[in-house]
């Protein structure tokens, strides 16, 4: 679940680990973007999107959105667990900090500077130089596959990123869809190759662990793909097909 196509990265990671999985994607086009909403309003939207997915009786629910995890994970777990395991998406600050830094965390303005993110920095990046970079408009630009707006937002965030940064945490799931454009914008001449840390692979693996399933990349027939748009069954948004992850899902699923 997510407000929009930011969930593609984690969904594609699940598909690669378990091609036979039946997937339900629950998006909220009627309520997006979630970032500018108050925490209370965002939580209400997230609960509605989660319950639409839960009606399909999944084995686990991935909150494929950092901002929703920050503000709504506790409420989602209180509403749905223990019957439905809920897996949040946490910025990959711990593995990024393990490299020694300096580290930049690219995130939405709603997540940047939040107590949740500051706690992660305190707990996992003590002694490492960390710069929090608010990425104004980037998630929205990715959501609409607006190439010009993506380029502008990436350039603006890159300008806020110190030149000595060696590692960037992609603290919004939308950003993983344009990871290589971010790398190209931040990489400085003469510096070591920039390391990017997303969350999709770890989240997919955690979801399988929560339900006691093993990765099986060579599993049999492809599973189905069900898309919910603010609770209504529909199709993947056209913008999703602008990204490799969206094309993978469209190509490998018997959509229904």
166-213 confidence digits (pLDDT tens): 999 999 999 999 999 999 999 988 888 999 999 999 999 999 999 999
Q: Are residues 72 and 141 in the same domain?
A: no
Among the options 72, 157, 172, 182, which is catalytic?
Answer: 172
135 is catalytic: no
Q: b/e per residue, 127-149, with b = 16+ CB within 10 A? A: ebebbbbbbbbbbbbbbebbeeb
Number of domains in the chain: 2
Q: What is the pLDDT of residue 255?
A: 45
pLDDT on residue 254? 52
75/121 same-domain check: no
Per the rule left: phi > 0, alpha: psi between -120 and 50, beta: everything else, 71 is: alpha
Residues 32, 50, single domain; the answer is yes
pLDDT for res 116: 87
Domain co-membership, 102 together with 193: yes
Query: Do 97 and 194 sit in the same domain of this protein?
Result: yes
Residues 182 and 219 in one domain: no
Same domain, 136 and 171: yes
Residue 172: active-site member: yes
Identify whether residues 135 and 206 lie together within a single domain. Answer: no
Q: List the catalytic residue out of 24, 65, 75, 240.
A: 65
Per the structure, the complete domain to which residue 61 belongs is given by: 5-89+201-255
Residues 100 and 186 in one domain: yes
Same domain? 77 vs 121: no
**12 has a pLDDT exceeding 50:** yes
Q: Is the pTM of this model over 0.95?
A: no
């Amino acid at each position: 679940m997510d407000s929009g196509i930011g969930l593609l990265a984690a969904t594609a990671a699940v598909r690669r680990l378990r091609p036979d999985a039946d997937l339900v994607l629950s998006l909220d086009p009627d309520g997006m973007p979630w970032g500018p909403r108050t925490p209370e309003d965002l939580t209400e939207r997230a609960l509605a999107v989660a319950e639409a997915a839960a009606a399909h009786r999944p084995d686990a629910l991935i909150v494929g959105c950092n901002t929703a995890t920050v503000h709504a994970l506790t409420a989602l777990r209180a509403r749905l667990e223990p019957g439905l395991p809920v897996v949040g998406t946490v910025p990959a600050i711990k593995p990024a900090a393990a490299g020694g830094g300096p580290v930049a965390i690219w995130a939405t303005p709603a997540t940047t500077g939040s107590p949740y993110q500051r706690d992660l920095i305190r707990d996992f990046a003590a002694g490492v130089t960390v710069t929090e970079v608010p990425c104004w408009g980037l998630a929205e630009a990715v959501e609409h596959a607006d190439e010009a707006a993506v380029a502008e937002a990436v350039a603006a965030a890159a300008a806020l990123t110190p030149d000595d940064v060696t590692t960037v945490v992609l603290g919004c799931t939308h950003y993983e869809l344009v990871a290589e454009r971010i790398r190209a914008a931040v990489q400085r001449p003469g510096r070591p190759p920039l390391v990017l840390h997303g969350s999709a692979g770890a989240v997919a693996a955690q979801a399988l662990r929560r339900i006691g399933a093993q990765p099986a990349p060579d599993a049999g027939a492809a599973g189905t793909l069900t898309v919910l748009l603010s609770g209504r069954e529909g199709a993947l948004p056209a913008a999703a097909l602008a990204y490799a992850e969206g094309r993978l899902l469209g190509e490998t699923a018997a959509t229904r």
